Amino acid sequence: MLITSSIFIDFFILLVTAVYVLHIYISNKYKYWKKRGVYFPKPKPFVGNFLDVILLKKHSSEWIKDLYDQIDKDFFGVYVFDDAYFVAKDPNLIKNILVKNFSHFVNRNIASPEHSPCIAHMLFFQKGLPWKTGRSKITVALTSGKMKSMFPLLLESAENLVNFLEKNNQDVWEAKELFAKYATDVISKCFFGINSHSFENFDSKFTILRRKVFGFSFRNIFAQTIYFFKPSWVQRFKIEFVDKEVMEYFSEVFMASLKARETKNSRYSDLIDIMNELKKTKEVRVDGTDDVIFCGAALQFFFAGFETTSSAIAFTLYEFAVNVDIQKAAREEVRTVIEKYEGISNEAVNDLPYLDMCLNETLRKYPVLPFLERNCTEDFPVPNSDVVIEKGTAVLIPTLGLHLDKNLFPDPHKYDPERFRNKINTTNGLSYIPFGDGPRNCLGERFGRMAAKLALVSIINNFEVTKCSTTPIPIIIEPKCLLIESKGGLPLRFTRLH
């Protein structure tokens, strides 16, 4: 039935009415923080405060960091589209959220998609009780004893790395890509029980699929941003976190390794053996459901371990190339320790305080996961204020903002490992959180640190790392990625030492 005599005028009236109703709805949503007396920057219609990220003008971490720098409050509100997010800035409040009052913030805000069971079974995405059960099972696989038994596998990968560099007649390497090979080798051996052939075959299936997950693509940045910042759309539009082919391949490889190892009775001391061992000793009950949990866990290690570990190594070597004295001091320490322990052993790698300081400083300047996020699971009254974070509210913690705050870390853009000579004091809250904190912190911290240090030891003991003509100075963060990446990569020169 027509409203007027013209279909075009009817259409125009309907359009204007729809836009008006939507505008009223969104304007009401944008009153959320005002009603609660929380400061917020003025939102734009429909997109809230998120326009620069949507237009790929800013990386999400820079967006949060810029707000952190501009707003001089202990906490504030922002709008991502029409969702209200609480941003915690004060280190004491952050400690409250992550550690002291963890029971109010058990879950991450990220989507946990029912249509993608393996992703939904990864710890990072899990919520509530399934997360708690999954975490306690998987933690058993990463105790210091189990880590020690994985050391020979890690060492083998570090040797493969050195051999690869020696064999190839090339001195300039894209560091991120080079250490992705190493991380592929380490993780496929330790968590999948297979050889990825990443050093032998430039385009092994593992490498191709890794690029599909972590390479720059509009599909990836769109899907991954929606998972983190608009989780309600994930279920509604059945959005996949990564390409289905990737998930299917890794699930098949992992389950096949688990089954094959069960029958062959071989021993590699990797996650596969550890899981089969756990099955036998009934330390955990393994049935059909647990298979999915374990599959999620193995894939979780792939997702959580690859990028983080390879970035930590590549950024450290970048800083070593720019700060030659620091590289020299780190090499001297490494060589003294190798002499003391007569080789590279688990004990030797754990006896490198200066290299630890360097890695800490790298993760301060480049926290690979540049923000943390939680969802409030129980109303939480913010201490020393009248504000209550209501159940269901998304909470953001701006790691990059904290790490580059000149009041917390003077001269924050300077690479200075000496900041970490003494242990960071956490009595006044949490300001250094590259691995998160509290019961939901990074489960692979020890593994990640060990793998990164072993690669650094092997490289600086054998090679001088220097800038080349294309090394970017300073680094610009690539906005088309979720994690911190250098725009234009990290090309570095590796010269063999004698």
Instruction: List contacts with ligand HEM (CB under 6 A).
Output: 123-124, 135, 300-301, 304-305, 308-309, 312, 363, 368-369, 372, 434-437, 440-444, 447-448, 452
| Contact criterion met (CB below 8 Å) for 184 and 480 | no
Q: How far is the CB of 352 from ligand HEM (least distance, A)?
A: 16
| Both structure tokens of 341 | 């322990």
Q: Which is nearer to ligand HEM, 43 or 271 (CB)?
A: 271
| Both structure tokens of 410 | 């003077």
Q: Which is nearer to ligand HEM, 300 or 393 (CB)?
A: 300
Q: Which is nearer to ligand HEM, 190 or 387 (CB)?
A: 190
Question: Rounded to a whole number, what is the distance in angstroms from the first to the last CA of the chain?
Answer: 87
Q: How far is the CB of 464 from ligand HEM (least distance, A)?
A: 24
Q: How far is the CB of 14 from ligand HEM (least distance, A)?
A: 45
Q: Which is nearer to ligand HEM, 131 or 199 (CB)?
A: 131
Q: Which is nearer to ligand HEM, 435 or 463 (CB)?
A: 435
Taking the C-alpha atoms of residue 440 and residue 195, their distance in angstroms, rounded to an integer, is 31
Q: Classify the phi-psi angles of 343: left when phi > 0, otherwise alpha if psi is within -120 to 50, otherwise beta.
A: left
Q: Which is nearer to ligand HEM, 30 or 278 (CB)?
A: 278
Q: How far is the CB of 340 from ligand HEM (least distance, A)?
A: 26
Q: How far is the CB of 344 from ligand HEM (least distance, A)?
A: 19
Q: How far is the CB of 239 from ligand HEM (least distance, A)?
A: 21
Taking the C-alpha atoms of residue 492 and residue 337, their distance in angstroms, rounded to an integer, is 26
SS3 56: coil
| Both structure tokens of 285 | 């009950």
SS3 491: strand
Q: How far is the CB of 122 from ligand HEM (least distance, A)?
A: 7
| Contact criterion met (CB below 8 Å) for 137 and 162 | no
Q: Which is nearer to ligand HEM, 118 or 363 (CB)?
A: 363
Taking the C-alpha atoms of residue 336 and residue 87, their distance in angstroms, rounded to an integer, is 45
Of 347, 348, 365, whose CA–CA distance to 357 is shortest? 365
Q: How far is the CB of 400 from ligand HEM (least distance, A)?
A: 11
Q: How far is the CB of 154 from ligand HEM (least distance, A)?
A: 11
Task: Note the residue count of the chain.
Answer: 498
3-state SS, 181-250, equals HHHHHHHHHHHHCCCCCCCCCCCCHHHHHHHHHHCCCHHHHHHHHHHHHCHHHHHHCCCCCCCHHHHHHH
Q: Which is nearer to ligand HEM, 82 or 405 (CB)?
A: 405
User: Cα 316 to the chain's mean position, in Å?
Assistant: 17
Q: How far is the CB of 440 from ligand HEM (least distance, A)?
A: 5
Would you call the peptide bond into 41 cis, given omega within 30 degrees of 0 as the criterion? no
Q: Is 118 labelled as part of a ligand binding site?
A: no
| Contact criterion met (CB below 8 Å) for 197 and 160 | no
Q: Which is nearer to ligand HEM, 33 or 315 (CB)?
A: 315
Taking the C-alpha atoms of residue 192 and residue 188, their distance in angstroms, rounded to an integer, is 5
Taking the C-alpha atoms of residue 180 and residue 271, their distance in angstroms, rounded to an integer, is 20
SS3 394: strand
Q: Which is nearer to ligand HEM, 43 or 389 (CB)?
A: 389
The type of residue at 476 is I
Q: How far is the CB of 214 from ligand HEM (least distance, A)?
A: 14
| Contact criterion met (CB below 8 Å) for 493 and 459 | no
Q: Which is nearer to ligand HEM, 48 or 193 (CB)?
A: 193
Radius of gyration for the chain, computed over Cα atoms and rounded to the nearest angstrom: 24
107 exposure class (CB count in 10 Å sphere: 0-12, 13-18, 19+): middle
| Contact criterion met (CB below 8 Å) for 186 and 153 | yes
| Contact criterion met (CB below 8 Å) for 258 and 275 | yes
Q: Which residues are annotated as a binding site?
A: 442
The annotation places the binding site for heme at 442
